[in-house]
Structure 1
């Protein structure tokens, strides 16, 4: 099946006649007729019926027409992306980072990007993971690190690393000296957590539902600094290990492993299929992945690297 034959069918559908399609595609009418005949013979079906006022697609022709639009669009996208990949990485890349990651990752990642690709200008948006997924789907950002995402139209994703969630308590809390804590023990605490729209909360809720447990949440706080401040003031929360462990090292709060079950999730790099600067977005994503893995290898980010075959 040749692309030019699909263009011939599209031309006939859009003009309503073979002569009109021939003019539109800058072909002779015999050449267009031959193209249509070739396509019909290959598919072994009648696609177009001619009549006194021109030509109309059969039901089979209408089906092939819709598929033809998709194929032509996909081929055009491939050409556009390949052309973009051949260019020097340059321009604006809008990157979304979750609040539980941004503060620790930016100092590692940004110097790498500036050193390797000085013509890329970075715009970093920090938000909770759920909000970043929305911005990515709307086209307001080009790339984002997201947690345990579901397949979304127009987006691609790849897993980078696995990370545990832990319980944060004040340093003077009765549980502070425990080596770890069970999920059923956490149900006895007054918790402040990200709101139910956030991926952290969804993950925690799913784990509790699987165990037949429910948490006592006294406030929904979609702010990492806000959650940490409340823990220092006497409350408890559940957060990923990365920045939580950094806060624990300052001595005012304690990070406890959650056991039975372990709460673990996967961090993905998500990007748009239709990135306007494919080369810049591609290399930015590659360096971002490298920065994450370097932090894990250096023992700064408690996690497990996912190496794809």
Structure 2
């Protein structure tokens, strides 16, 4: 039979990808960890880990066990909190995944609010592209996420909190022979699509959104350069190599400083949703539910106060 200590050890080994690194994190001798894993494999009648030159990797059985082990350990934490009556003073680690562009806006005010109001909660924020964040959530490596777009994956629950406006923009000095209306004048998407565009590559959430928009309106995007980084896109546009479409907050500083010029997209405008996501299958600790509510509150506040430029609350979310 397996016990909770073995499950805790197994989770650490899987997450660290190494017996030696897990031993340091757990303050347990490496031979003891190896013995626990061998005992678990003997009890289950199958291999859970495979040693590689880089450390260890999970077998298919190990992946299944890891998913259940995380659920079991979370449930133990929830049970302990209920017994001790700690909902009024939540404590524990909470892991939040954010795309980098959202992290720039949300991370500092959320961490500040958590530290001030819930000092016993340790909020850990990891930034990556949305695809990686969804994978982390499926694997149980994070508890919460803020995403662009609704997650269709089974077991992930999302709620839309904000809409974010996208803006078309170009270099301050104009580009070759293109004739455009004065900055800040509405510009039709069909006209924008024909201009030389610098956009994230196919598979990036923003590029896919623009691609779907183009399909609906039966136009093709004239993409001349693919580049993932927003900062690189802005730099290339500023050099006069093309135009682009990015969230309004991403270009607000450059437009205010007259380093870029912008136009609202018209006929129709383009927005993308900001969603708060969590696992629908894993039990939620008091600390996780507290941070979920705090993230929701902070995101609404960022939009209402104008600190998230271009973000608005959907009609059904406005209070």
TM range (shorter): 0.5 to 0.7
What's the secondary structure of 2:154's corresponding residue? coil
Cα distance in 1 for partners of 2:283, 2:232 equals 35
Contact 1:91 1:277 in 2 (8 A): no
In the alignment, which residue of structure 2 is the partner of 1:238?
Answer: 245
Superposition deviation, residue 127 in structure 1: 2.4
Counterpart among 177, 201, 207 of residue 207 in structure 2: 201
Contact 1:154 1:273 in 2 (8 A): yes
Cα distance in 2 for partners of 1:181, 1:149 equals 28
Cα distance in 2 for partners of 1:227, 1:84 equals 47
In the alignment, which residue of structure 2 is the partner of 1:168?
Answer: 169
Deviations 1:253-294 (A, max 9, x none): 123211012111211100123557622221112111211111
Contact 1:93 1:281 in 2 (8 A): yes
5 Å-filtered alignment, 1:72-87, equals 81=78, 84=81, 86-87=85-86
Cα distance in 2 for partners of 1:96, 1:254 equals 32
- TM-score, with normalisation over the residues of structure 1? 0.67
Contact 1:101 1:242 in 2 (8 A): no
5 Å-filtered alignment, 1:202-217, equals 202-217=208-223
Aligned residues: 236
Contact 1:170 1:176 in 2 (8 A): no
Which piece of structure 1 moves more, 178-187 or 77-86? 77-86
Deviations 1:27-68 (A, max 9, x none): xxxxxxxxxxxxxxxxxxxxxxxxxxxxxxxxxxxxxxxxxx
* Structure 2: unaligned runs, 5 residues or longer: 1-70
Matched, 1:295 2:298: no
Deviations 1:171-208 (A, max 9, x none): 22254733121111112222221222222111111110
In the alignment, which residue of structure 2 is the partner of 1:147?
Answer: 148
Contact 2:77 2:285 in 1 (8 A): no
CA RMSD, aligned part only? 2.8
Larger radius of gyration: 1
Superposition deviation, residue 158 in structure 1: 1.0
Cα distance in 1 for partners of 2:263, 2:129 equals 22
Contact 1:97 1:129 in 2 (8 A): yes
Cα 1:119–1:293 shift into 2, 3 Å? same
Contact 2:74 2:282 in 1 (8 A): no
Which piece of structure 1 moves more, 279-288 or 220-229? 220-229
Cα 1:241–1:113 shift into 2, 3 Å? same
Cα 1:91–1:257 shift into 2, 3 Å? same
In the alignment, which residue of structure 2 is the partner of 1:190?
Answer: 196
5 Å-filtered alignment, 1:46-195, equals 81=78, 84=81, 86-87=85-86, 88-173=89-174, 175=180, 177-178=182-183, 179-195=185-201
